[in-house]
């Protein structure tokens, strides 16, 4: 009996509909699909206006694999949950709730419009229908809960990252607070909530009419049915019709509006995640040979790559990059979110005049028509992207690393800098530093013959790797070679290597600035010239690995020199020191037992994924390492990167390095601020002094800790094993 009931259980889709009403519904549904499809085509044509114009932005054979990877990221929600579990779970509930409800509508439509009329096969009844109903009930509830979480977050918790006020605009400027974005967000969640709730209402009315004594698991529908107890059958019927049309029209309007509203991120974020380049920030794109005669970088939207134009549309305004950006946190006029949104607004305005014919023509043409429709206007200027915004960036990559949809904010900013640099729109001190590097091969303006002078205070000779083979070729870098405080660390490292019996040598005056930061300033020509000189000098040497203590040099030697045909194994000194300690080649006198904290350099951590070696060293030395609030991939930039070390700070602003020292001092009893980068040595020695904390915390480079822990030479006959 139960089986018989279950097998007949179903629900009519068009309850008491006349033929005219059915036709009206189908006409509206098809119109909505066409409006949706046109909305999807428009941005593709817009992205094709970028330089090169091809779409998709990767070769066709790569597309299926990319799309599958994108799906994995999307369904796992790993990028959305990072450092924000509330948003992660809220979004998961909305995403899966919406997807299952949407899939449920498709399944129902397939039965109603295809299998039943074509094959006479109606599967929408019995156990299948009951399971379907339960699934939609559960996921509909999840959708409602997820939307409520997001609403509470926006209205009650109000995290700073969801405040759309722009740090690059004054409070009285019209673009300052972007109220229209907040309204759009509320409309988006509000409409979805109404769609979900009217679905439950409709189900409740149906239960009240067809199963008045219902006591199943459809909680939402049951609750509504209880509230309707006593309402006449006729009134319920009218309500059922009214709700059906309201719910249905809202749903198809929502679908058709997806490509035109905030909901577009449902499509663009997936594409962005699928086609992103995970190495984009550590390996900046070279200038393509076919553009060698054109102006470098991005000056107008027509210069953007189609991928970067697509990134602009993928931004969900989640504000994570805005929150992570050290420039924004320290009061500079930069928010990576606002750079992306500003450029998006410009692109939309430039494309807004494109007619339906223009879109269809652009879709059919394999290649874009490049300039035109405002795409060739400068992106810089009053009310547009401000130059000071672009120069505030330290290229620390915190934005790229946290963006849940894979947008390349830092590489886009780098492209904008290339154009500004080419046009001479840069700080005069930065310009003169670049000229100095060009002339002398180093940022200190020192005679290149003095590069190896730091070795004079050692009581042993360092090999010239240009004259004899070595196991390790040590690329010292500018700061470690010339800055007096960093020279102490450099000599310390040399003494350790010497005592460990490492066969190493340096290039002396054959070395040039590695070019990493020159490239991040946007001076691509000078970068290539420096890299070529280094490649020539290094290629003439015989060695097994390159060693460097400078994460900036490490990044470009390891990741960017291969673009110029030079590929070597490049290790950071923390990797080597860990190896030596673990192999027992550095005899220790005993544990150091300092209470320390460690600052991850952006170029070693975020850009190259090396977090563990320095920490392992401190553990082997017996230090008590306590992490700062922001550590590892969430480390806070010292402010030196991207050429910022060569640009004077605006007076009255707190420095990023001082903010970081304050953060370290939140740790009770911390004694040492440990770093693993010569630029960090400079930045933080200075910040400890300028913030008046010389009595409270001292700076140590990892190398200095190792040397301090080592047994004196004469006592080394009986070494204490590491760890
Ligand atoms: S790279 Fe760093 S400083 Fe530049 S926009 Fe991104 S987070 Fe801000
Ligand atoms: S660029 Fe990425 S991280 Fe920044 S607001 Fe947009 S989606 Fe969020």
Q: Give whole-number Cα distances, 4 to 1, 126, 211, in Å.
A: 5, 9, 16
Residue of 320, 328, 399 best suited for mutating to test ligand 1, as the one with most atoms within 8 Å of CB: 399
pLDDT at 211: 78
Does 271 have pLDDT greater than 90? yes
Question: Beta-carbon neighbour count of residue 440 at 10 Å?
Answer: 17
Element holding 70 (H helix, E strand): helix 63-76
Angle made by CA atoms 224, 229, 234, in degrees to the nearest 5 = 100
Tokens, residue 227: 């509230």
Query: What is the reported pLDDT for 711?
Result: 81
Does residue 64 carry a pLDDT above 50? yes
Q: What is the mean pLDDT of residues 397-405?
A: 97
Ligand 2 atom, smallest distance to 322 CA: 4
Nearest ligand, CA 637: 1
From ligand 2's centre to the CA of 322, what distance in Å?
Answer: 8
- Residue pLDDT, tens place only, 638-672: 999 999 999 988 887 889 999 999 999 999 999 99
For ligand 1, is residue 395 a contact (CB within 6 Å)?
A: yes
What proportion of the chain, given as a percentage, has pLDDT over 70?
A: 96
Q: Which atom of ligand 2 is nearest to the CA of 320?
A: 3
The 10s digit of each residue's pLDDT in 39-49 is 999 999 999 99
Question: Which pLDDT belongs to residue 366?
Answer: 64
Residues 591 and 593: their CA atoms lie apart, in Å, by 6
pLDDT tens-digit profile of 85-96?
999 999 999 999
Query: Strand 545-548 to strand 472-474: parallel, antiparallel, or no bridges (unpaired)?
Result: parallel
130 — pLDDT class (breaks 50, 70, 90): confident
pLDDT value, residue 363 = 83
Q: Confirm or reject: Cβ of 398 under 6 Å from ligand 1.
A: yes
Tell me the CA–centroid distance for residue 707 and ligand 1, in Å: 35
pLDDT of 210: 84
pLDDT tens track for 433-449: 999 999 999 999 999 99
User: Once rounded to an integer, what is the mean pLDDT over residues 110-114?
Assistant: 90
The span from the CA of 182 to the CA of 6, in Å, is 47
Ligand 1 atom nearest to 398, measured from its CA: 7
Instruction: Note the residue count of the chain.
Output: 723
Task: Decide which of 219 and 623 is more confident.
Answer: 623
Task: Give the CA distances from residue 334 to residues 44, 216, 331, in Å, rounded to whole numbers and listed in that order.
Answer: 29, 55, 8
pLDDT of 1 > 50? The answer is no
Predicted confidence at residue 723, as pLDDT, reads 45
**CA distances (Å), 665 to each of 326, 631, 659, in order?**
18, 14, 10
Q: What is the pLDDT of residue 602?
A: 98
Give residue 60's pLDDT band: very low, low, confident or very high (50, 70, 90). Answer: very high
pLDDT tier, 408 (very low <50, low <70, confident <90, very high otherwise):
very high
Distance from C-alpha of 543 to C-alpha of 545, rounded to nearest angstrom:
6
Question: Does the CA dihedral 11-14-17-18 come out positive or negative?
Answer: negative
Q: Tens digit of pLDDT for each residue in 519-534?
A: 999 999 999 999 999 9
Short-list 373, 266, 372, 392, CA closest to 330: 392
Q: Which of 58-62, 228-232, 293-297 has the least mean pLDDT?
A: 228-232
Min mean pLDDT across 61-70, 106-115, 571-580, 606-615 is at 106-115
* Per-residue pLDDT reduced to its tens digit, 244-261: 999 999 999 999 999 999
Give the burial string for 2-14 (b: 16+ CB within 10 Å, else e): eeeeeeebbeebe
Q: What's the CA-to-centroid distance between 264 and ligand 1, angstroms?
A: 25
Phi, psi of 654 (to 5 degrees): -75, 140
Our answer on whether the CB atom of 410 is closer than 6 Å to any ligand 1 atom is: yes
pLDDT above 70: residue 699:
yes
The arithmetic mean of pLDDT across residues 400-404, rounded, is 97
């Amino acid at each position: 009996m139960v089986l018989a009931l279950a097998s007949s259980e179903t629900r009519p889709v068009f309850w008491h509909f006349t033929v005219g009403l059915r036709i009206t519904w189908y006409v509206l549904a098809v119109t909505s699909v066409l409006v949706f499809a046109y909305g999807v085509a428009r941005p593709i044509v817009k992205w094709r206006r970028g330089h090169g114009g091809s779409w998709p932005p990767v070769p066709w054979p790569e597309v299926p694999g990319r799309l599958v990877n994108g799906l994995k990221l999307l369904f796992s929600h790993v990028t959305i949950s990072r450092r924000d579990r509330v948003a992660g779970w809220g979004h998961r509930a909305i995403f899966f709730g919406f997807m299952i409800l949407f899939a449920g509508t498709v399944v129902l439509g397939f039965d109603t419009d295809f299998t039943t009329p074509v094959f006479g096969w109606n599967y929408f009844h019995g156990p299948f229908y009951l399971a379907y109903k339960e699934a939609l009930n559960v996921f509909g509830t999840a959708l409602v809960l997820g939307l409520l979480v997001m609403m509470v977050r926006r209205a009650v918790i109000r995290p700073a990252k969801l405040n759309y006020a722009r740090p690059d605009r004054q409070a009285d400027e019209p673009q300052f607070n972007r109220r229209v974005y907040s309204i759009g967000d509320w409309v988006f969640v509000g409409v979805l909530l109404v769609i979900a709730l009217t679905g439950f209402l409709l189900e409740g009315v149906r239960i009240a009419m067809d199963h008045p004594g219902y006591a199943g698991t459809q909680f939402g529908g049951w609750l509504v049915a209880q509230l309707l107890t006593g309402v006449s059958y006729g009134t319920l019927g009218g309500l059922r019709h009214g709700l059906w049309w309201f719910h249905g029209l809202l749903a198809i309007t929502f679908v058709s509006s997806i490509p035109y509203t905030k909901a577009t991120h449902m499509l663009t974020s997936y594409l962005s995640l699928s086609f992103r380049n995970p190495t984009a920030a550590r390996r900046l794109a070279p200038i393509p040979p076919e553009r060698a005669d054109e102006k470098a970088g991005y000056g107008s939207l027509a210069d953007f790559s189609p991928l970067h134009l697509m990134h602009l549309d993928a931004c969900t305004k989640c504000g994570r990059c805005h929150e992570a950006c050290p420039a924004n946190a320290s009061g500079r006029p930069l928010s990576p979110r606002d750079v992306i949104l500003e450029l998006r607004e410009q692109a939309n305005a430039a494309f807004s005049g494109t007619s339906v014919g223009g879109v269809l023509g652009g879709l059919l043409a394999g290649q874009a028509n490049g300039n035109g429709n405002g795409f060739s206007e400068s992106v810089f200027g009053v009310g547009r992207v401000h130059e000071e915004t672009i120069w505030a960036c330290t290229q620390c990559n915190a934005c790229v690393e946290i963006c849940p949809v894979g947008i390349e904010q830092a590489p886009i900013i780098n492209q904008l800098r290339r154009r500004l640099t080419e046009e001479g729109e840069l700080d005069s001190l930065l310009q003169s530093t670049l000229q100095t590097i060009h002339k002398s091969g180093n940022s200190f303006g020192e005679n290149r013959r003095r590069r190896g002078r730091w070795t004079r205070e050692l009581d042993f000779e360092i090999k010239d790797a240009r004259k004899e083979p070595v196991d390790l070729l040590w690329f010292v870098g500018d700061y470690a070679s010339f800055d007096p405080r960093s020279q102490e660390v450099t000599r310390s490292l040399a003494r350790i290597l010497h005592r460990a019996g490492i066969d190493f040598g340096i290039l002396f005056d054959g070395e040039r600035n590695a070019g990493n930061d020159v490239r991040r300033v946007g001076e691509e020509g000078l970068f290539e010239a420096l890299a070529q000189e280094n490649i020539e000098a290094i290629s003439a040497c015989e060695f097994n690995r390159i060693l460097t203590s400078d994460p900036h040099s490490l990044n470009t030697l390891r990741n960017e020199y291969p673009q110029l045909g030079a590929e070597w194994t490049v290790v950071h000194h923390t990797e080597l020191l860990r190896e030596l300690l673990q192999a027992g080649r550095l005899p220790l006198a005993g544990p150091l037992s300092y209470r320390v904290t460690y600052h991850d350099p952006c170029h070693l951590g975020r850009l190259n994924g090396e977090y563990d070696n320095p920490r392992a060293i401190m553990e082997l030395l017996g230090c008590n390492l306590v992490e700062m609030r922001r550590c590892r991939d969430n480390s806070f930039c010292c402010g030196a990167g991207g050429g910022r070390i060569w640009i004077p700070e605006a007076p009255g602003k707190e420095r990023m390095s001082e903010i970081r020292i304050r953060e370290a001092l939140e740790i009770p009893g911390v004694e040492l601020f440990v770093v693993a980068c010569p630029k960090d040595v400079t930045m933080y020695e200075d910040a400890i002094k300028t913030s008046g904390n010389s009595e409270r915390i001292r700076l140590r480079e990892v190398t200095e800790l190792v040397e301090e822990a080592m047994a004196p030479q004469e006592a080394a006959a009986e070494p204490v094993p590491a760890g």
